[in-house]
Chains A and B, each alone.
Chain A
């Protein structure tokens, strides 16, 4: 039996979120292995007609767009019911959504209604050639471990780590768009509801350069070295779980499995040993630079450039040298 895959797309203020195209990239890699149709579901109360067409340019066979204002309310207990009805019509064997605040809330709600399993935060997929089942791969706690998970029931559902897969441009013949307008009014039960968009000044996920610090910085004052280097390179500041737990940097800066996933051009890990949970949040960076005292630290295995040394000695020298360069230019 061939798999039919449905991506639950994400839309913000009428625009499709990049994570939707990333998941399409992951889906298209599975085509040669037994995934036949790839569709995108868009639930929206506000979308441009040309935006609806876009997933077709990224390898979707079809877009199923359900229009109703309630989707703009982020009332997941309501949208889950509407999406569930669409799933009953389309009958996909695989359903994927981004592991965003939306996807990680909506997907478990839907999975329970469908009485099926859900795998969180996947970073890889494959199809088992023996039974055509989806292998859902995710990092697991307890060391350097990747777990492959299979769902016994149908549909097989998973959320996908943002910034893990790359979108690919491709189009299929006979691709189509289905638009359904649902005019019913749905009650959310919310007495008031407002969504306040904030300036994306802390969107680590979109940063070109991220400079992160960890345990090796030892205290909040030393952590200023990380901030200074980030500022000097026009980058953003990140931190390991230890750095956040110690209060050296706030939670929105946390990189890793329980924080943000980043994929900048340059990732600089200062005094970070490279626990798998951290690696899961930055391993797809283009270039990784690391400074750590311990030559055995795991971070060096994925570094493009590493220095075995004390961050507290090396970073001040780097800053000094960068300052001098600045003067000479």
Chain B
């Protein structure tokens, strides 16, 4: 081959765990005023891309979709060693569901052709669906290798990927193009160097918008999302259990054992 690889990492800005609130009107996540960070597993996706680059050469491009402040996570990715950053931005993308997000990102990726491997985290901690990676693979008509736990880089045309499945492991050898979603256990992500941080500050972030990509308004944003959150409810399941407190610890421990005994466990 000898061709230089070009791999693309999909990243997402997510609210810090525990800070997220649901907007009662739209039923979607309200991100205003909440500290944002890069989705943790996306760091493992970036790490894989950088390891591939180190082993076989080529470049790493990183892309996100989100409002102005999402630029922050792109800078983080550049500081880690990614070569180019693309920011899909515009109000018309607001409140996209997984279908609309997959569509927009897949069209952005198409505009960056040619490329070899698309890498993403297995799921984002906010939406928690894991649907966007496979959705993009479908729009691009390429194989999807999800839940990847290991990726052995033989050369730029051969990758041996182990994915975790309920009954064990699937080991696939595959040549690009494909989309891989990585799990947390795949690698330990690196920290940015000071030099990397300084460089990232001055690097250009390339903006992409719906108009330039000729995206159909019927497929993007709230309007283009086939799913609608129609109701959010406080969620309460109660079991009228026996709760012990303010008595001697040893008595509580005995009562615990007695409960297990009643259920025939011991």
Contacts and interface: CB of A to CB of B under 8 A. Distances in A.
A117 B97 contact: yes
B233 A301 contact: no
A150 B134 contact: no
> Helix, strand, loop or mixed for chain B's interface?
mixed
A153 interface: yes
B256 A307 contact: yes
B242 A304 contact: yes
B202 to A, nearest CB: 34
Interface stretch (A32-40, A52-60, A118-126): A118-126
B263 A77 contact: no
Contact of B102 (A112, A143, A257, A302): A112
Contacts of B142: 77
Contacts of A140: 22, 229, 232
Contacts of A188: 143
B106 to A, nearest CB: 8
Given A146-B235, A279-B237, A303-B239, A74 B170 contact: yes
B138 A112 contact: yes
A147 B27 contact: yes
Interface string B180-215: 000111000000000000000000000000000000
B236 A306 contact: no
A268 to B, nearest CB: 9
Contact of B21 (A80, A143, A196, A321): A143
B171 A193 contact: yes
Nearest to B133: A108
A175 interface: no
Contacts of B249: 309, 313-314, 317
Contacts of A174: none
Interface stretch (B64-72, B109-117, B161-169): B161-169
* B contact residues, range: 35 or more
A139 B132 CA distance: 18
Nearest to B175: A191
A322 B266 contact: yes
Contact of B263 (A135, A205, A266): A266
Nearest to B23: A142
B242 A305 contact: yes
A19 B137 CA distance: 25
B244 A147 contact: no
Interface in A40-98: 74-77, 80
Interface in A101-118: 101-102, 104-113, 115-118
Interface in B8-27: 20-22, 27
A249 interface: no
Contacts of A12: 166-167
Greatest chain A CB density within 10 A among B98, B128, B137 is at B128
Contact of B245 (A75, A110, A250, A295): A295
B37 to A, nearest CB: 14
A150 to B, nearest CB: 5
A127 interface: no
A3 interface: no
Contacts of A314: 249, 252-253, 256
A101 B243 contact: no
Interface string A288-329: 110100010000111111111100011001100110010000
B231 interface: yes
A258 interface: yes
Interface stretch (B55-63, B76-84, B220-228): B220-228
Greatest chain A CB density within 10 A among B226, B229, B237 is at B226
Contact of B167 (A144, A198, A291): A198
A308 B239 contact: no
B40 to A, nearest CB: 8
Nearest to B257: A321
Greatest chain A CB density within 10 A among B126, B252, B256 is at B256
A37 B244 CA distance: 49
Contact of B226 (A109, A121, A153): A153
A80 B138 contact: yes
Contact of A276 (B184, B235, B244): B235
B4 interface: no
Greatest chain A CB density within 10 A among B172, B228, B244, B259 is at B172
B99 interface: yes
Contacts of A129: none
B143 A142 contact: no
B109 to A, nearest CB: 14
A179 interface: no
24 contacts: A104-B130, A108-B132, A108-B135, A112-B103, A117-B97, A120-B98, A120-B131, A121-B129, A141-B20, A142-B20, A151-B228, A192-B171, A193-B170, A198-B167, A250-B185, A265-B265, A300-B241, A300-B243, A305-B256, A307-B244, A308-B243, A308-B245, A309-B245, A314-B249
Question: Which 7 interchain pairs have the tightest Cβ spacing?
Answer: A117-B226, A308-B245, A198-B168, A120-B129, A117-B227, A112-B138, A317-B253
